[in-house]
Amino acid sequence: MESKKTCIAMIPSPGLSHLIPLVEFAKQLLQQHNHFHITFLIPTLGPLIPSMQTILNTLPPNMDFIVLPQVNIEDIPQTHQPSTQMKLIVKHSVPFLQEAVKSLISKTHLVALVFSMFSTDAHDVAKQFNLLSYLFFASGAFVFSFFLTLPKLDEAASSSEFFESYYETVNVPGIAIPFHVKELPNPVLVERSSYTYKSILDMCRKLSLFDGVIINTFADLEPDVIRALQERQKPCVYPVGPIIRNESNSEANKSVSLRWLEKQPPSSVVFVSFGSGGTLSHEQLNELAFGLEMSGHKFLWVVRAPSKHSSSAYFSVQKDDPLEYLPNGFLERTKENGLVVTSWAPQVEILGHGSTGGFLSHCGWSSTLESVANGVPMIVWPLFAEQRMNAKLLTDVLKVAVRPKVDDESGIVKREEVANAIKGIMEGDESSEIRKRIKVLSDGAATELSENGSSRKALSTLALKWN
């Protein structure tokens, strides 16, 4: 009788930006420990978007996936906080998850469940079936350190809002600089009596229940935070990063973007992208366009139709043509200097291309790691979630990025600021210093994943727990 395969089940939070890092982690695990079989159990609110379906349909042979039945949309309040939506989708998927896990146990030697951050409501499923439980944390160690600290901060807070003053500061263990409250993740900056805040607090209280936490970071990037987390002992942390994609998809190299980049001088192009879900207001879209034009530098811009909500493209496909919202004559005036593409471009290949010299980014953690690993300086433009914290790490701690100022009256980044930020990373002494610092981090990222690197060792230690 054939022995059952040792299986790990992974439960991503809903959304493309949560699925990709977990898939890449699974690939990295199997490259070094190919006796495991990985099954993804996918909670859903509706049909999978095409890009998610493509990723799942092209998994290697020792991975597969099960799309759980869709939850009832009426159970998910219409909120513009993606974290709340994700958490509720997973919570209502627990009965489906229980059935899927039971089925896997009957067919495989299932040893552990790996959850994404907003899948913590399903933690009891691991306990129910006597399985090891691990959290895959796709953001930085310093953000995880903050979430571990949140319950204590909540106990100390006295007002109905998180702090009486929006401008008070919070110290995160392992980070020398304090964070202003206004820089914390969106779900924290709401009434403490709200469902959003309570659900995040509940999630943070569950973090110590896991057998271990896998963090997408590496020692050279966050040495002090990793040390502080390891000194806590519980939960046990495994820094295994940087976990980034090697390629966007099989069609990437045929894209218009890469063909255009091939014709540009080395390190001459600023890549502009706000990730898989970020959007700007119409006014801000126009100011960004004029700023790119004013800078005089070459640019490759992934543009989306504007929205009042910065995360509006996160769960839905936009139908408007973004080019209709650009300033009159912009495309004609900049056709020699820039390329505008709609909705998507092969980011991994673009950041790794020799013609790319800067990255204007929303500071999602995956984008941050991809930029660091490729040694590309950044202009930080955070929109939602933990992106403001990531931006501060990049500008004030690592000093590998610049940040354009937001106008106090309008809340808009004006075109002059956009142009100045581009010049800051593309020309002059400041640019040279930033490039030197990010080159050191890029070299460190490569070292950590080499045979004797600490990230590789952390992954091997983790695999031993699952054997």
pLDDT digits (tens, 9 = 90+) for 201-253: 999 999 999 999 999 999 999 999 999 999 987 899 999 999 998 887 656 66
Does residue 392 have a pLDDT over 80? yes
Q: Work out whether the CA dihedral 119, 120, 122, 123 comes out positive or negative.
A: positive
Helix, strand or coil, per DSSP, at residue 358:
strand
Does residue 22 have a pLDDT over 60? yes
- Say how many CA atoms lie within 13 Å of 20 toward its Cβ: 23
Instruction: For residue 445, give every residue at least 6 positions away whose Cβ sits within 8 Å of its Cβ, in sequence order, or none.
Output: 218, 220, 221, 241, 242, 369, 372, 373
Which pLDDT value is given to residue 325?
96
Which pLDDT value is given to residue 296?
97
Which pLDDT value is given to residue 222?
97
Average per-residue pLDDT for the chain:
91
Percent of the chain with pLDDT over 70: 94
Confidence of residue 317 (pLDDT cuts 50, 70, 90): low
Is residue 157 within 8 Å of residue 166, measured between CB atoms?
A: no
CB atoms within 10 A of CB 340: 19
Start-to-end CA span in the chain (Å): 20
Instruction: For residue 315, give every residue at least 6 positions away whose Cβ sits within 8 Å of its Cβ, in sequence order, or none.
Output: 14, 15, 45, 82, 85, 277
Determine the Cα–Cα distance for residues 136 and 22; give it in Å rounded to an integer. 7
Which pLDDT value is given to residue 162?
56
| Residues paired with residue 65 on neighbouring β-strands, in sequence order | 40
Q: Copy the structure tokens of residue 83.
A: 């974290």
Higher pLDDT, 101 or 316: 101
Determine the Cα–Cα distance for residues 241 and 344; give it in Å rounded to an integer. 25
Which pLDDT value is given to residue 315?
47
CB atoms within 10 A of CB 73: 10
Which pLDDT value is given to residue 1?
38
Burial of 127: CB neighbours in 10 Å, binned 0-12, 13-18, 19+: exposed
Which pLDDT value is given to residue 290?
98
Which pLDDT value is given to residue 159?
59
Is residue 270 within 8 Å of residue 300, measured between CB atoms?
A: yes
Strands 298-303, 269-273: pairing is: parallel
Token pair 């953001």: residue: 139
Residue type at 218 in one-letter notation:
F
Q: Copy the structure tokens of residue 104.
A: 């896997």
Confidence of residue 76 (pLDDT cuts 50, 70, 90): confident
Which pLDDT value is given to residue 249?
67
Q: Which of 380, 194, 160, 346 is nearest to 259 (CA)?
A: 346
Determine the Cα–Cα distance for residues 62 and 38; give it in Å rounded to an integer. 6
Residues 283-299 have a mean pLDDT of 98
Does residue 36 have a pLDDT over 70? yes
Is residue 299 within 8 Å of residue 269, measured between CB atoms?
A: yes
Residues 284-305 have a mean pLDDT of 97
Q: Work out whether the CA dihedral 117, 121, 125, 127 comes out positive or negative.
A: positive
Residue type at 313 in one-letter notation:
A
SS3 per residue for 169-185: EECCCCCCCCEEHHHCC
Task: Please give the model's pTM, rounded to 2 decimal places.
Answer: 0.93
Which pLDDT value is given to residue 308?
78
Which pLDDT value is given to residue 314?
47
Which pLDDT value is given to residue 196?
87
Is residue 367 within 8 Å of residue 120, measured between CB atoms?
A: no
Helix, strand or coil, per DSSP, at residue 150:
helix
430: left (phi over 0), alpha (psi -120 to 50) or beta: alpha
Determine the Cα–Cα distance for residues 147 and 202; give it in Å rounded to an integer. 11
| Domains detected in the chain | 6-152+202-241+449-466 (3.40.50.2000), 252-445 (3.40.50.2000)
Q: Among 8-12, 65-69, 198-202, 274-278, where is mean pLDDT lowest?
A: 274-278
Sheet holding 269-273, edge to edge: 338-342, 298-303, 269-273, 356-361, 378-380, 401-402
Which pLDDT value is given to residue 16?
84
Which pLDDT value is given to residue 141?
97
Determine the Cα–Cα distance for residues 115 and 126; give it in Å rounded to an integer. 10
Spacing of C-alpha 178 from chain mean position: 22
Q: What is the tens place of the pLDDT at every residue in 126-170? A: 999 999 999 999 999 999 999 999 998 888 876 555 555 556 889
Element (H, E) at 114: strand 109-116
Helix, strand or coil, per DSSP, at residue 128:
helix
Determine the Cα–Cα distance for residues 107 and 87; give it in Å rounded to an integer. 29
Percent of the chain with pLDDT over 90: 75
Is residue 269 within 8 Å of residue 310, measured between CB atoms?
A: no
Outline where 206-360 has alpha helix (H). Answer: 223-232, 256-261, 282-295, 330-333, 347-351
Does residue 307 have a pLDDT over 90? no
